[in-house]
Structure 1
């Protein structure tokens, strides 16, 4: 077989693999099984949202509990950050929970990071919950002003036993995109 024939054969195999992969095997599962969760972290919507903020928050030098983080998400979960480039182009970054832990973990642990909910709106239908969680971020708990604010959009599901995070989709506040007051005045669980 010559080089051209080999390339054609590889091309056909790739096309067949892509064309038959999901159809023959049903839904594709991404990632491995989640670690066992602390039941207290997944017993309610408030608990699972609080666990997210708790895991990512901590002073400089403090390791984060990434196995706890992983335990909150379905194996196929996605985290999607949307932001604006310096050129004004809206861009997205799609990650798995593991990607987030690997990319953001070292920065959170090196610089210190505290994120807290400052308001929430929530919609529910059966086992599905969508909520906007307005947040503010600080490097240290005592910082007088946050260095960032924004909205985390959580999509959650209840499987009859526990709550799971399906997606966290977020964007940060900018001078031309302030958080609407209606998302802040809803209050956080501690102020409702």
Structure 2
């Protein structure tokens, strides 16, 4: 069913915006100009059958001690291939805010080495969930800890999910950390 959903949305996008088309013999395979073929690794059933499972897997996959490898294929298996991970935060040497937009592979390439080097761990403190039909939106309050610098930080992950009838997929993840001018209200800590 997921392939049909993606095929329908990409075909709609192709009609409206001149996006890439599908090969006629393989409707779920996107014809791309790039030689890179985007697919998702097979997910662990326990990771994607429930909202609790996929949120727990999201936190688990990026957490670990200094030098501990992460299972990046497990992370990729949680997200649709076109998913985005986005971060809101202050620009360097500025009070202005910026939005950083990454693919899952961008996140892994840019943040992965830092997570391993610093002994980064993230855990869920609380969650607010809204579900309607096959979509879910989650505000999950997190706390991060790094072994190397002995620092802790809190913030919110805003996670958008879809269920294709067989499993949950992360469509996008937008997060923002607390800072001096922005502290978490009590409602997101319960």
Whether the TM-score (by the shorter chain) exceeds 0.5 is yes
1:155 aligns with 2:156: no
* Residue aligning to 1:127: 134
Which of 42, 66, 69 is residue 75 of structure 2 equivalent to? 69
Question: What is the CA-CA distance between 1:147 and the residue it aligns to?
Answer: 1.9
1:88 aligns with 2:95: yes
Cα RMSD of the aligned pairs, angstroms, is: 2.3
In the TM superposition, 1:14-163 aligns within 5 A as 22-23=17-18, 25=20, 32-85=38-91, 86-140=93-147, 147-163=152-168
Deviations 1:1-24 (A, max 9, x none): xxxxxxxxxxxxxxxxxx999426
Question: What is the CA-CA distance between 1:139 and the residue it aligns to?
Answer: 1.4
1:180 aligns with 2:176: no
From the superposition, tell whether residues 149 and 20 of structure 1 become closer, same or farther in structure 2 (CA, over 3 Å).
same
In 2, Cα distance between the equivalents of 1:24 and 1:139?
Answer: 42
| Helix, strand or coil at the partner of 2:57 | helix
> What's the TM-score once normalised by structure 1's chain length?
0.79
Question: What is the CA-CA distance between 1:53 and the residue it aligns to?
Answer: 0.5
Equivalent residues, number: 163
> What's the TM-score once normalised by structure 2's chain length?
0.80
Choose between structure 1 and 2: higher strand proportion.
2
Deviations 1:53-88 (A, max 9, x none): 000000001000000000000011000001012321
In 2, Cα distance between the equivalents of 1:24 and 1:122?
Answer: 33
Question: What is the CA-CA distance between 1:173 and the residue it aligns to?
Answer: 0.4
Question: What is the CA-CA distance between 1:148 and the residue it aligns to?
Answer: 1.1
* Residue aligning to 1:8: none
In 1, Cα distance between the equivalents of 2:106 and 2:78?
Answer: 15
From the superposition, tell whether residues 121 and 68 of structure 1 become closer, same or farther in structure 2 (CA, over 3 Å).
same
Q: Which runs of no fewer than 5 residues in structure 1 stay unpaired?
A: 1-18, 186-192
* Residue aligning to 2:171: 166
